[in-house]
Structure 1
Amino acid sequence: MPEKLSLSIILTFHNQRDVIESSLSSVFELNSIPFELILIDDASNDGSSDAIKSLLDYYDHERTFFFQHEESTGRGNCLNEALQQCNSSLVWCPSSLEQVDESRLKSVIQRAKDNPKCSFFIQQLQLPETPDEWLSYIARQTWHDDASFIWNLGAIPSEQLFFNPYQQSHHGLELSMRLFLSESASYEQVEKFSTLSGMAKPVPLPGTDKKEMIYSLLRNPDLNREVRSKALQLYGDIPEKDTPKQGADFQNEQLAEAFHMKQEGRLGSALELVERVLAQQPNHPRAKELKIQILEKKRRFVEASELKHELIAEQNTRPENADIKTSIIIPTSLYGKEVLEHCLISISEHCDPKTTKLIVIDNASLDDTHDYLEELEQKEFFSCEIITNTNNKGFAASVNQGLDAAVGEYACVLHNDVNLKSDAISELERLMDEHPRYAIIGPMTNKTLNPDQSTRYQEEYNEELVRAEYLDSFCMMIRLDTDLRMDESYQLAFFEDIDLCFEARKNGHRVGIATEVSIDHQYGTTTFGLNLDTESEQYWKNVAYFNEKWGIEVYSEEELKSKSRFDQLLAIDRLINPLFPEEPLKDYFSELFTDELKTEMMQAEHDADTLCELVHLMMVMEERELMRRLEDRLDNVDLPTSLIYQLVRFYYYRNIFSRCKHYLSKLKAEQQSLQSELYKLQMMVTDKEFQEAIPKLKELLDKAPTNPTLYKLAGDIHRFEGNTEEAESFYSIASQINPFEYSETGETEFKIKS
């Protein structure tokens, strides 16, 4: 009867013939440990497979399982594949081996039996314990190899039980960090029980592995701001020059392996692989760059110099931006740096810098976004181009600036509070390629003003691309040769995205939703800071402009006339724009609103909902006398929050502060908001009650440092007190944030109709 299995050993190789014999011999000579060996050759083309088969025939180990890949998938994917085959809960995944101390390895196996809750055992290494310590470890030049770790699968949470497929090496260290950050790790240090092959000693780390470790660190939701800032700084400091990249940078897996060989000092093998790539792709620029580096290390300087001149000549004749397929356009403003950083990290994770250009439009940000973007530009992060505006031009104008600077086939407009969680951009590119009749395509998301793009309804779609009337601008892939531009009349925000889709459809193009592509969206990060929502004047002004521009009929006269005269009144209230009422509806109301109907309205007993609707309609139609008489009946009515704020706004713009205060007093604690506090503060300033206004202003600035009204009010206070220079400074900030509503003299340029 075979002995009970004690250990599963996983070995994966890809063009590593030099280390195969020492690694397999070290494992097969373990005589007193019942183990299984899961062995994967990841599409080697250097004879590794033949070397493996020869050794397997020689040792004839009955518990060895050998798998061969026709195409390389990378070490991380190989390890994850092998994990599914393991029959022991104790797993060891060395990258290579020179020698194994069998007695010490047996001791580790016994310790695992004695302590089944221990997640892993590590030889002679004290791991970091805090995020800050992990960050310092990531910054090191060498890390401990996968051979240092023995994993207890039964003590690792299932959601963490995988190796990062995007890393090239050091998968064990990344997993141990994830376990620490999720507070689900326990480990024991043990004596050194193995040594690496002489051909696989620690070498300087590729930048991609450092970056992947930083990504894992940044995904921790409990990471404090200081460590997050340090992590982002370290990420930016990692040089790109000697780092093998994804996609177009290393189109051939042989080239990526050549890079590793060069790093390990295996220059002859590395040069051989590079030559194979160049035989197939003679003008491959990255292959030539790597060949130059190898030749210089081999001290073949004449050949390296000749190849440099050849490469420079090719680059000088190559059209600028020739490889760019998509330009990503991101407007940002206010205190947007933090969400922008997350957005750009996700772009770096999921986009190819060789085919992607980044365009960021800085709309007079109030934080240090400018310095951050300047640094990215200096480092040529995604060939980035920064456009800086001295004041907030609004979303539409910013996008147009980006479209004017865009290159390639497509432009992808992103909000700065978006996070890519997959290769969404490349998927949208694919759909655009396959469906040339579509001018604009957008994905699904968790938070959107367009319910058709909500992931809540994702399962209802049967096709990967469905036609739509409009899209939410959180992510819009636009075909550049359509020359579409946003209408800048929409000013800061709202409806410019719908308008663009209508424009595309008017020109014979299609608009579509990519139902199998989704991204994360925080929603409202910028608009809320500007005090913009679907109750704001800006929103209703844009509703009016959009409807007029596109001839949107807000009502059907035939449908209205099918109702009783009184019900027609209520229907008008539900249809009309509360701040910019449509002229046809106003005319219809005037015809309908006879003295007889007024009498009927006043004599009837109305339920609370109907009474609120009538008060609202009279307010919109400026029927003030009747409105006041109906308002008298509201004293015992539990008013909707929206109606309270509309009434406050109505009376505020007419300087009837007593009525404003009356309705503000009706707000319950849960109904109060920044807007209600703003109204109170505005009335204090207007009435020159500065002793109360100044502390209230400071309090609100702490809560809402991007609200332009607060800076305008600060300017008013200074102007009233004769501090002209200070007043102008605050007015300038208000104008910088919202130049459409505030001028640099403190005058409010935007007024609702009255």
Structure 2
Amino acid sequence: MPKKPLLTVSVVVQNHRDVIESTLTSLYEIEGIPFELFLIDDGSNDNSDEVIQSVLDYYQHEQTFYFTHEKPIGLGNSLNEILSQRNGRLFWAPLTISDIDIEQLSLRLEQLTESTNSVLALQNHELPTGYKEWINLLQQKNWPQNGSFIWDLSALSTGNRFFNPYLKEFHGLELAARLGDISSIKSTKSWFAPSSLFEAPEPDFNIRQELLLTLLRRADYGGQMRETILKTLQNLSVKSKKSYDNDLLNEAVQMKQEGRFNSALERIEEVLENNPSHSGARNLKIKILEKKRRYVEASELKHQISKSQKQKEKEEKEKPKQQPTTETTQPSEPEDVTTSLIIPTTTYGKPALEHCLLSVSEHCDTSQLELIVIDNASLDNTHDYLDELKERNFLNCRVITNTKNAGFAASVNQAMEKVNGEYACIIHNDIEFVDDAITQLRDLMESQPEYAIIGPTTNKTLNPDQASQNIQEDSSDIIRAEYLDSFCMMLRTDANLEMDETFQLAFFEDIDLCFQARSKDFKVGIAPHIQVKHHFGTTTFSLDLDTESEQYWQNVSYFNEKWNIEVFSEDELKSLSTFDQLLALDDLVNPLFPEPKVQQQFEQLFTDELKTEILKTQHDEETLCKLVHLFMVMEEREIMRHLEDKLNNIDIPASLIYQLVRFYFNRNIYSRCKHYLNQLKPQNESLRADLYRLAILVENKDLDEAIPMLKELMGHAPANPMLYKLAGDIHKFSGNKEEAISFYDLAEQINPFEFTNEEKDAFGFKL
């Protein structure tokens, strides 16, 4: 029999086709926590059931209970239906999930089960402890969502084990308000993150009213307390704030916030049917299409809007030009700025940037802070968001706009020329502050003048010395380091450091900067007790940049050459046998840009005798793979092909498969590419594999297969420049000159270092 679950997880779906797969996948990848899942499709009409059935069939989770409602009965009623059937002592009801921190979730469950007085665990919020605090919370916008609560149902009386069926959301908060002043386990570290496609709804008038009525029903609130609550209820505006003067569009906004994009689009289409030029409806439609990653349709609609505005723009241009005032174009430079916060962003970076800046606003002292954002030709509505920040003069915001992606190093250098602070805090746009790390880093810099750069620790980083899990509790305030990861770096501006722009888009420019500082007799340090959260790879992965990419290995080569880094010790190498020396070279060599010293050593070792020995010996699988890789890197095709034949009988590591595919693709040997791509296991499939398959189809002019595959991949990876290059190729082959050039332009905009005007010239188009 299955083990009795500790935790009941409740997921209620109503037209959430776009987010349900990531939610279920995140749950089914939980290990070590006995849980049951109650899943209800509450009358969806967007084919959510197809996605659900597919995921359920794949994972075959024994304690999943799936129910469907023919017609919607509402979230509250659905939750109560689950409560009546659940088996777990603890209860969690997230609406959507993109990521689960299993360690944090396990810790909260353990704390709840061991606690003698706590009713719930609450993520990133604190419950009010009196009526004034409740009233204050109810007048704010940022309320904890249902998924922020984990309930210990054994600590609730039977009469309170239900959720308010009349609410659309915030059922957990209403239950907490109903229970009175209860004890909770507060968690400043998140155990889960909702889907990025889900927008936390703002409480409307009806919800605020219902929560205030809940407070009025509490027996412990009488006399003056009750009068204050009543007065607040009376002063509450009867009209809820609406985004539009159109009920259908306001419904669409609500549905968009809930992740019900298909239903929202239906409402918008009703509006556009009667008023095709309704600007609010068209702009909202664009936002939803982009949320659904239907970028081609969104782009077409933008083009229509742009075309309809051409005449208006022409008239505006013919008007006498007014010189902009300093006040409207440049915010004032405050005298008390000590720290300049520098954030480069690109492609579809607005959600990450917005999340980052919200955390700055919530957790950091901004009184002595200025913000400089470098917009590297973003593809989304980052421009509008930054305009809004400037209008509000948020952190004295200044924006540097590049028409092409200048890369991380160049962007930082652009900002460093404009800083007003004594310190510059350089961060990635996917950083989240959980406390005032900026002030803590600045204070540490002021007390440690010998340090030019100091960085915090984080959950995910390419520098193991900055990984939170590797930090000892008894560490000193600062640990001297050789280098830092650029996810968050506090610089002393008078150290006159400048990033090397040769590193192009990313990788090693941060290590190089630290080496520069140390060459000037400054120190570089890690602040082990200062921590930020890093949503690792949000930008780089979308650009197809990782530690296996050509950009990475190109920068490794340049960095080692610039700083004269020794690739290996000759004495240590010579202590090995000739064959083992050869294998050691495979661990040392740059796979794409082999170092001359390694090549020379290889040539000395690789004699005819050794070649004969290698061909006659029966190697184990690991050794065979290392030899194939080394001979591939060293361009020894003959012996490589002999050894490759022996790979047919083994499971080839995915990393070697991808390197072999790249090797043969660059030599236009597509049959070998497909041979190895077909050997990838399902868990090792990736966007990069699909890009190779698509590129092969395009090169072979198999456009009937290539076009639908391109559209599908555009939906999954709209920021990948190779997709735009391949789209341009398809249009070129089809004779669509203007369309081809526009797609080549987009590829160049995203990554001008790889996709340039010269490349477009090579395709026979004049620019």
What TM bracket, shorter-length normalisation? 0.5 to 0.7
Contact 2:363 2:433 in 1 (8 A): yes
Alignment partner, residue 515 of structure 1:
528
Contact 1:417 1:523 in 2 (8 A): yes
Distance 1:116 1:634 in 2: 64
1:195 aligns with 2:217: no
1:443 pairs, out of 443, 451, 456, with 456
Alignment partner, residue 257 of structure 2:
226
**Any stretches of 5+ residues in structure 2 without a counterpart?**
1-116, 118-127, 134-155, 189-201, 236-253, 261-331, 763-767
1:339 aligns with 2:368: no
Distance 1:399 1:552 in 2: 25
TM superposition shift of 1:566: 0.6
Contact 1:440 1:510 in 2 (8 A): yes
Describe the superposition over 1:560-595 as per-residue Cα deviations: whole angstroms up to 9, x where unpaired. Answer: 111111111000111000000000110111111111
Alignment partner, residue 622 of structure 1:
635
TM superposition shift of 1:153: 3.9
Q: Does the residue aligned with 1:358 lie in a helix, a strand or coil?
A: strand
What is the TM-score normalised by the length of structure 2? 0.61
Letter in 2 for 1:583: P
Describe the superposition over 1:244-268 as per-residue Cα deviations: whole angstroms up to 9, x where unpaired. Answer: xxxxxxxxxxxxxxxxxxxxxxxxx
1:335–1:720 CA distance, 2 compared to 1 (3 A)? same
1:585–1:94 CA distance, 2 compared to 1 (3 A)? closer
Q: Does the residue aligned with 2:399 lie in a helix, a strand or coil?
A: strand
Contact 2:339 2:370 in 1 (8 A): yes
Q: Does the residue aligned with 2:600 lie in a helix, a strand or coil?
A: helix
Contact 2:725 2:747 in 1 (8 A): yes
**Superposition RMSD in Å:** 3.8
Contact 1:353 1:383 in 2 (8 A): no
Bigger-Rg structure (1/2): 1
Contact 2:375 2:400 in 1 (8 A): yes
Contact 1:392 1:736 in 2 (8 A): yes
1:569–1:321 CA distance, 2 compared to 1 (3 A)? same
TM superposition shift of 1:447: 0.4
Letter in 2 for 1:370: H
TM superposition shift of 1:159: 3.4
TM superposition shift of 1:744: 3.8
1:664 aligns with 2:685: no
Letter in 2 for 1:380: N
TM superposition shift of 1:190: 5.3
Describe the superposition over 1:137-193 as per-residue Cα deviations: whole angstroms up to 9, x where unpaired. Answer: 9xxxxxxxxxx9896345x544389xxxxxxxxxxxx99x9x99xx9x987725883
1:504 pairs, out of 500, 509, 517, with 517
2:478 pairs, out of 461, 465, 478, with 465
Residue correspondence of structure 1 range 686-705 to structure 2 within 5 A: 686-705=699-718
Letter in 2 for 1:152: G
Contact 1:734 1:744 in 2 (8 A): no
Percent identity, aligned pairs only?
54
Moved more, 195-204 or 639-648: 195-204
TM superposition shift of 1:605: 1.1
Letter in 2 for 1:494: F
Letter in 2 for 1:624: R
Contact 1:131 1:227 in 2 (8 A): no
1:159 aligns with 2:186: yes
1:354 pairs, out of 346, 363, 367, with 367
**Any stretches of 5+ residues in structure 1 without a counterpart?**
1-85, 97-114, 121-125, 138-147, 162-173, 206-222, 230-318, 750-754
1:324–1:127 CA distance, 2 compared to 1 (3 A)? farther
1:402 aligns with 2:431: no
1:655 aligns with 2:668: yes
1:329 aligns with 2:360: no
Contact 1:361 1:386 in 2 (8 A): yes
TM superposition shift of 1:618: 0.5
Aligned length: 507
Contact 2:177 2:215 in 1 (8 A): no
1:598–1:378 CA distance, 2 compared to 1 (3 A)? same
Distance 1:606 1:741 in 2: 39
Contact 2:178 2:214 in 1 (8 A): no
Letter in 1 for 2:630: L
2:730 pairs, out of 703, 717, 732, with 717
Q: Does the residue aligned with 2:417 lie in a helix, a strand or coil?
A: helix
Letter in 2 for 1:678: L
Distance 1:228 1:355 in 2: 37
Letter in 2 for 1:366: L
Alignment partner, residue 721 of structure 2:
708
1:685 aligns with 2:714: no
Letter in 1 for 2:523: R
TM superposition shift of 1:354: 2.4
Distance 1:199 1:664 in 2: 69
Alignment partner, residue 559 of structure 2:
546
Alignment partner, residue 560 of structure 1:
573
Describe the superposition over 1:290-311 as per-residue Cα deviations: whole angstroms up to 9, x where unpaired. Answer: xxxxxxxxxxxxxxxxxxxxxx
Letter in 2 for 1:642: S
1:134–1:227 CA distance, 2 compared to 1 (3 A)? farther
TM superposition shift of 1:672: 1.3
Contact 2:425 2:489 in 1 (8 A): yes
Contact 2:333 2:420 in 1 (8 A): no
Distance 1:449 1:748 in 2: 38
1:432–1:622 CA distance, 2 compared to 1 (3 A)? same
Moved more, 460-469 or 595-604: 460-469
Describe the superposition over 1:635-681 as per-residue Cα deviations: whole angstroms up to 9, x where unpaired. Answer: 10110101001001001100111111111111111121111111111
Alignment partner, residue 390 of structure 2:
377
TM superposition shift of 1:133: 11
Alignment partner, residue 578 of structure 1:
591
Contact 1:92 1:150 in 2 (8 A): no
Alignment partner, residue 271 of structure 2:
none
Letter in 2 for 1:195: Q
1:497–1:690 CA distance, 2 compared to 1 (3 A)? same
Distance 1:435 1:441 in 2: 10
Distance 1:743 1:682 in 2: 18
1:485–1:582 CA distance, 2 compared to 1 (3 A)? same
1:484 aligns with 2:497: yes
Letter in 2 for 1:189: R
1:118–1:474 CA distance, 2 compared to 1 (3 A)? farther
1:590–1:747 CA distance, 2 compared to 1 (3 A)? farther
Letter in 2 for 1:570: L
